[in-house]
Structure 1
Amino acid sequence: MPGRTGAGPIRQAEAALQLGLVQTLRLPGPTDIAIWSNIMSAKEIYLHHFAVMAPENVIEKVVEFYGEILGLRPGFRPDFAVPGYWLYSGSHPLIHLTVNNDRSEGTQGYFHHVALHCSNFDEVVDRLDKANVGYRRNDLDSVRLVQLIVRDPAGTPVELTFDK
């Protein structure tokens, strides 16, 4: 390959860490050398928000779901021409909800799921169980993560990701 230095993968990963191309160097297993959070830039990209557009009765259920399960709360939302909510995680409007009573149930485009990094695993599992919300658990030991896969009341697939 052009530009290859011949250095082993561990040395390459250590060099990338020193250059600021990655922010975390993990060696959890024999095949996992590094988690490359940023290959071309030292800047990080985070999920700013995701949006759901659905009939009013569905939006109300979505507000309740994220409030009960993740503790997200409605907060300030600009005065748009249509009703809706912005659900906040701390001071950040993470989920944007818009009422559209003409919207029908179904899939649009190729959207697959949204992933949210969470920090209170036992509490979230307890809330899901109490709310009778089904979930699938994936233990990703090689990257020290646990995922809970759920669907919100609007049918949006949501991956709740926790550090192990």
Structure 2
Amino acid sequence: MRLDHATLRTRDLDGHRRYFKDVFDLSEGFRPAFGFPGHWLYADGEPIVHLIPARAGVPVPDGSAECIDHVAFRRDDHDAFRRRLDDRGIPYSRMEVPEIGERRIFLHAPGGTLIEVAFRDSEPTEMSQEFNR
């Protein structure tokens, strides 16, 4: 397992996009059509920073609407991981992203933090989206 990416919520998508490109030399790359705006910023061919809009009317602790939305880990044992969650009665939701050949599981840590676990398939397949932000 390894850290896959961090998703940041912001009121200034373009400002954050420019900042990460300029300061960290990240490049903007492909992002699936999720139905809401955002940017994926890449390093060494991998998307490591995802930017999405702040949710209207949803306060964050410091009131700025700038926050880390979730962190994602990459694993390669999708079926075994799902069985582990099912066996422990841990609730989760799923998202399948055929454009990039990924299956994702979303769950919440005890304090409420959103955790994504991403699994890359060898070949993109026809899948349906089960998780709706």
Structure with larger Rg: 1
Structure with the largest fraction of strand: 2
Structure with the largest fraction of helix: 1
By the TM > 0.5 criterion, same fold? no
TM-score by length of 1: 0.36
TM-score by length of 2: 0.44
